[in-house]
Structure 1
């Protein structure tokens, strides 16, 4: 039973796409001798077949290797199948290879458009044009063997029955980027074709500490709820889902031990917006202020259900428009503060300015007790849980990009030092800074992570990235911030609208 269950959830890792004039056929070519999938190009109907259809002089197919099916989208009249045409192996997650999507291809099943009205054809072509924008989505990752939507702790907590389910059924819906596109394939019971895809970032490196090798991975998982681009998606929706919500997981593997720390970021959890109007910093508008406590309560209730205790760190300015938002945030959470929910305001710009980021140690002193109590996941070399993470730090600034990334990297660094002490690699006073190779690679890891999250939300790399990358502010870094800020202004006003649609 066990073997059969495992084989039925195996995903096809290599496929051949046959493009006939009237149908597409997707044939597994990874040696599994399984049925091929036939998709009608007129009505997008699907069925499994045992043999490739006949080829003739009239029916000459185009043939291409593909690496997975992302899903199917139905527009006004036609449907569109999305497949992965290029992938790159970027490392491994808990021993399983992880791939980055390098290019997608959209296959139209729109022959039925021939009989559509002119109005339908016009709308369909506008939508199909928008799909081209979606085709260029960056930061998509997948694995054929493990569930990238789940943190190491969630994976470890999966029951035996859940482990036998197909990957898409184990997946955390919030981080399943192609959730909606998989529906048609799910209805057709095509489990071995159903490839879960995550948007975010994935980086890992190895470094030596003395004679030992440490393996560190950093993953970002973007939430699919309240998705969108920077100025066009702010705050929360009425259900408490916030813009730019990202789960960040730092995993350390060494001497058979595995340690994992999860942090989250997300926009301030009440209804507010910033209408793009060509000014450099459009005004912040709080919408339905009377709703703020209810929306914040729903947001934190959901977070506590998923992560346990929550410490919310608000990094925005105390003055101006940011100050108004911060006051609203503080007053909205005031009634629900408890042992399980703490709120700290830390005016990043006032305390750290644009160069003194080492002053974040002031913030660390305020949150060290929470981190100590709620900890991290630690598994020993037998995979047994020695310690679990009981709570999460939730960080926000205005965009949840630049100040947030600097702060999260500081927390990640402090926790990594605690983990290395716990597993006996670091002495009591030893720090990451005392190992040049580890220190440099670790900074680059977090800088790349910050850039990836920033590009997906704002269109440009993160600001303040030089501090994360080199441990200090540089003249070049300040100049880069200026150019990136100009880039963000351009994207907000002239291209993010289309991307949002």
Structure 2
């Protein structure tokens, strides 16, 4: 099971690469987490929550609150485990996930998997591993692929296909099929959520990190940045409209109202970018003419100052230049 951090938090786009995390109504976090895991236990039985966040900055604050919210409710059927994926595995050392497996192997064996064979022998799965990072995509994909691999090996040994020490890695064709299957699975979830394929897809597919894969990840990261800042607001409006959180009256105006007026109504990032580029161009041209007329030095300072001023304003007021949801949701909690 993959799921976000189970309390109210937000990350509002503001043109920065990693917007700040804000915890909403932090005093309610323990109650929200308790209700969430109560629902999971009713559906799945025992739950092991694996938190993959790092312990620095905004992620660290979220992870600490998650840990604190879990302490009063952990029990024999509910466990919490923090595993700093970034610190331990970095960008390429995913074999170190074996450290995580060593800590959860007893839970996986104890709670088992579904089995029904020709001899009418039946075994039911008694619990699940709930995995989270921030967006439940890249780190979560890699971690869950490791868990899925280990469980599949247990199943194949149980039905006699594998010997006691045999693994998927010892069968190149099966290993390749498993990697491709899981990589495609991760891509499909990532496309649905973020609009792009998952990161580190080459590593999941081939087990190796290549230059082509690194360059592809850079492109995916840039595309995610663009979509987050300049596209996802409209997408969120569409989701809210389809889910009924925003209702359009029959015969009414279907044009969604802007949530705020004033500067936000006219702010345009493309226009601001064009003005900055024009200012820089005029600055460069003026500097090139300083030898002929010293007055051009003053012009270059003026144009340069205008460019820097516009860029600084856009940076300081980044939120109003982003594509944010515009529908006013009056009946949805948390808005």
Normalised TM-score (structure 1): 0.47
- Tell whether 2:29 aligns with 1:292: yes
Q: Specify the structure having the higher radius of gyration (Cα).
A: 2
- Tell whether 2:118 aligns with 1:381: yes
1:32 alignment partner in structure 2: none
Structure 2 matches for 1:47-446, cutoff 5 A? 264-381=1-118, 384=120, 386-446=122-182
- Tell whether 2:151 aligns with 1:448: no
Instruction: State the distance in 1 between where 2:162 and 2:184 align.
Output: 26
SS in 2 for 1:310: strand
Q: Higher strand fraction: Structure 1 or Structure 2?
A: 1
Deviations 1:318-371 (A, max 9, x none): 111100100000001110000010000000010001010000000000000000
Deviations 1:348-406 (A, max 9, x none): 01000101000000000000000000010011136x45211000000000000000000
Deviations 1:284-306 (A, max 9, x none): 00011100000000000000000
Instruction: State the distance in 1 between where 2:92 and 2:64 align.
Output: 26
SS in 2 for 1:265: coil
- Tell whether 2:228 aligns with 1:492: yes
Instruction: State the distance in 2 between where 1:473 and 1:351 align.
Output: 17
Deviations 1:229-251 (A, max 9, x none): xxxxxxxxxxxxxxxxxxxxxxx
SS in 2 for 1:305: helix
1:468 alignment partner in structure 2: 204
Larger relative contact order (C-alpha < 8 A, sep ≥ 6)? 2
Q: CA RMSD in A?
A: 0.9
- What is the count of residue pairs matched by the alignment? 237
Unaligned runs of 5+ in 1: 1-263
Q: Higher helix fraction: Structure 1 or Structure 2?
A: 2
Deviation >3 Å, runs of 4+: none
Instruction: State the distance in 2 between where 1:393 and 1:385 align.
Output: 25
Instruction: State the distance in 2 between where 1:400 and 1:467 align.
Output: 18
Instruction: State the distance in 2 between where 1:352 and 1:323 align.
Output: 17
Instruction: State the distance in 2 between where 1:416 and 1:312 align.
Output: 20
